[in-house]
Amino acid sequence: MSTPPTNIPADLAHALRAGIDAARAASSAAAHVSATVLIRAADGRGSIHQAWRGEGPDAWCQVASPGFRAHLLKTGHGDRAQIAFISLTTDAYERVRDRVLELEECPHDLECECAATPWPSVDDLRSHPDDLEIVTREDEERGFARLSSGRIDLTLWDESVRLLFGLVQLTRAVDRP
């Protein structure tokens, strides 16, 4: 009895490789557009850089802008980012916190798995010198926040660029003179 072939035929292997390469190129292009979207949210202030392995999450590219750093994640199609807001005022932090909690208000149905206190308040941060986790569902970490010298550093690990566009604008609206 003969063993059936286990290799993909060459013509299909080449077509598969071309499809994968096209998908990668499209995701990379989408990530660069998403990076531009985040810079636009920051009033055009910022720059796009190559993401290097070991410098942070596996990313298509990264954005450096006054007030935040973002990595466009390879786990998405160029539409998801990890963002670190740097030195937010307490007002800006509360606006971001309130907006996300408002958007994700849980209906508390029978299958509710939401955390009792998903985002630490400014008072919570004042009473804890270490990072406090942001958890929206049971055992689902979303990021962390830390208060130092009256300012808050906030990191969110995997968010849609659509949401982050609004959050960047909220942080800037609060901090403008």
Q: What predicted TM-score, i.e. pTM, was given to this entire model? A: 0.85
Among 136, 161, 15, which residue's Cα sits nearest to residue 81?
161
List pLDDT tens digits, range 83-108.
999 999 999 999 999 998 888 766 56
Arithmetic mean of pLDDT over the chain: 87
* Cα 61 to Cα 70: distance, rounded to the nearest angstrom: 9
The residue that leads in pLDDT, 117 or 120, is 120
List pLDDT tens digits, range 154-174.
999 999 999 999 999 999 885
Integer CA distances (angstroms), 164 to 29, 65, 106, 108, in order: 18, 13, 20, 25
Identify the pLDDT of residue 43: 95
Among 84, 82, 87, which residue's Cα sits nearest to residue 72?
82
Phi, psi dihedrals of residue 80, rounded to the nearest 5°: -125, 145
